[in-house]
Amino acid sequence: MTTELMQRAQVKDVYVHGINVRYAVSGEGPAVLLVHGLASSMITWYCNMDALANAGFTAIAVDMPGYGDSGVADHLGYEPETAARFLADFTAELGIERFSVVGNSAGGLIAGVTALEYPEKVEKVALVAAAGLGRRLSWPLRIISVPVLGELIYKPRMISKAAMIKRIFFRPPAILDDILPEMLRVRCLPHAPRVMLRSVRSGVNLLGLRRKHNILHRLRDLPAPLLAVWGEEDLVIPPVKAEDVQRALPRSTVRVLPECGHWPHMEKPEEFNRILTDFLSQPSPLAAASREGGQVLTASHSR
């Protein structure tokens, strides 16, 4: 992962909850914790870490327990609340008292729960194509939540590269060739299917996201400023209406990127990095929380 886009990052290990945890860190300044989604790893943030470092932040991308090169955590479970507790303990182990948290997909739900459960630790929250802001999910996720049926259907080694890419991106970025081998590797680790299915079933059923994990209205009382970013063409977690999020969270900032899929941070990194660093560079949470109203913005098309 030491490439031209992550040349400042160092890959490290630390023990948390009795397991080895792999993470990458880049830059100096306020800490920004990056949380990937299901069937992925810290490679998700390949295009963003050095941009954050260049903007004056310490970017920390972590392989969540059971994913990437971190240890399996069956003894802990894979519920969002368990993952939030892990992040709180992980940052404490690194000596970080306060941080901003950015999460994609299921990692967005984890980021939101972390901010709700540990408000004293979280400066700002950025949710990227996040679960937890409505019950709607793609049918493949709902179907594999069914015991036995999920084991029969979810076979990462049998999913074609083309099918995987189509679900994640609207228009695959040129950089994809560099990271595709790593994306495939972490999806096909021996324990990966079991961890993926356990994670899905902790929060999903045939009706979509379990009601208790729909945190949209809980976020209304969140003291930390919140940014929500979607790709307009997301096939995994269909974007909820920006107006609905703004209505529920009037102090939030919402951005919708056209011609963009489930990983806007990789598909349109320059645009996404600008949005994120601008958000993180705003005044302190207390000052930001006192702003009147919010903003719903649709970004212009990128070429």
pLDDT tens over the chain, length 303 residues:
434 446 678 999 999 989 999 999 999 999 999 999 999 999 999 999 999 999 999 999 999 999 999 999 888 888 999 999 999 999 999 999 999 999 999 999 999 999 999 999 999 999 999 999 888 888 888 999 999 998 888 888 777 788 889 999 999 998 898 899 999 999 999 999 999 999 999 989 999 888 889 999 899 989 999 999 999 999 888 777 667 787 888 889 999 999 999 999 999 999 999 999 999 999 855 444 433 444 444 343 332
Measured between alpha carbons, how far is 84 from 14 in angstroms, rounded to an integer?
Answer: 17
* Sheet containing strand 19-26, strands side by side: 10-16, 19-26, 58-62, 31-35, 99-104, 122-128, 226-231, 253-257, 295-298
Are 24 and 12 contacting, i.e. CB atoms less than 8 angstroms apart? yes
Tally of CA atoms within 13 A in the half-sphere of 33 that contains its CB: 31
- pTM (2 d.p.): 0.89
Measured between alpha carbons, how far is 100 from 115 in angstroms, rounded to an integer?
Answer: 9
Length of the chain counted residue by residue:
303
Measured between alpha carbons, how far is 118 from 84 in angstroms, rounded to an integer?
Answer: 8
